[in-house]
Amino acid sequence: MSTKIIFLFAMLTILGCRTSAAKLLGKYRKSIVSPTNILSYSMHLHSQSSFIINNLKTNVNNCKKQFIKKTCDKNKTASESSLSCIVKNKDNRQFTDDAKGKELYLQENNFIKDKKLISISPGGYKGFYMLGTCLFIKENYNLDKYIFSGASAGAWNSLFMSYKGDPLEFISNIMDPAIINKTSSIFEVEVLLKMKLLQTYKSEDFDMNRLFVGVTTYNKFNFNTNIFTDFDNLDDAVNCCIASSHIPLITGGIFNKYNDMYSFDGGFSEFPYLNVMKPTIHITPSIWEAQKKVFKKPNVYNKIQTFYNSTTLFSREKYDLFELFDNGFGDAKKNKDKLDLIFHN
Residue 343 has pLDDT above 70, yes or no: yes
Per residue in 267-289, pLDDT tens?
888 899 999 999 999 999 999 98
CB neighbourhood size of 112 (10 A): 19
Contact 153/183 with Cβ under 8 angstroms?
no
Q: Which of 68-77, 97-106, 137-146, 256-265 has the highest mean pLDDT?
A: 137-146
Residue 161 has pLDDT above 70, yes or no: yes
Using a pLDDT cut of 70, give the percent of the chain over it.
63
Out of 3-7, 229-233, 296-300, which region has the weakest mean confidence (pLDDT)? 296-300
CB neighbourhood size of 43 (10 A): 31
167 or 247, which is more confident: 167
Q: Which amino acid would we find at residue 75?
A: N
Q: Is the pTM of this model over 0.75?
A: no
135 or 43, which is more confident: 135
Contact 118/279 with Cβ under 8 angstroms?
yes
345 or 68, which is more confident: 345
Comparing CA positions, the residue from 14, 32, 19 lying closest to residue 188 is: 32
What is the average pLDDT score of the chain? 74
Q: Which of 69-73, 249-253, 289-293, 332-336 has the highest mean pLDDT?
A: 332-336
N- to C-terminal Cα distance for the chain?
44
Cα dihedral sign for 305, 310, 312, 314? positive
Comparing CA positions, the residue from 264, 241, 249 lying closest to residue 308 is: 249
pLDDT at 184: 57
Per residue in 111-120, pLDDT tens?
888 999 999 9
pLDDT bucket at 188, cuts 50 / 70 / 90: low
Give the distance, in angstroms, between the CA of residue 207 and the centroid of all CA atoms in the same chain. 18
pLDDT bucket at 189, cuts 50 / 70 / 90: low
What's the whole-number mean pLDDT along residues 93-112?
89
Cα dihedral sign for 240, 146, 267, 82? positive
Per residue in 17-70, pLDDT tens?
333 333 433 443 343 333 333 344 344 444 444 433 344 444 434 433 333 233
pLDDT at 317: 63
Per residue in 229-279, pLDDT tens?
999 999 999 999 999 988 887 766 788 899 989 999 888 888 999 999 999
Identify the bridge partners of residue 80 per DSSP, sorted by sequence position: none
Residue 121 has pLDDT above 50, yes or no: yes
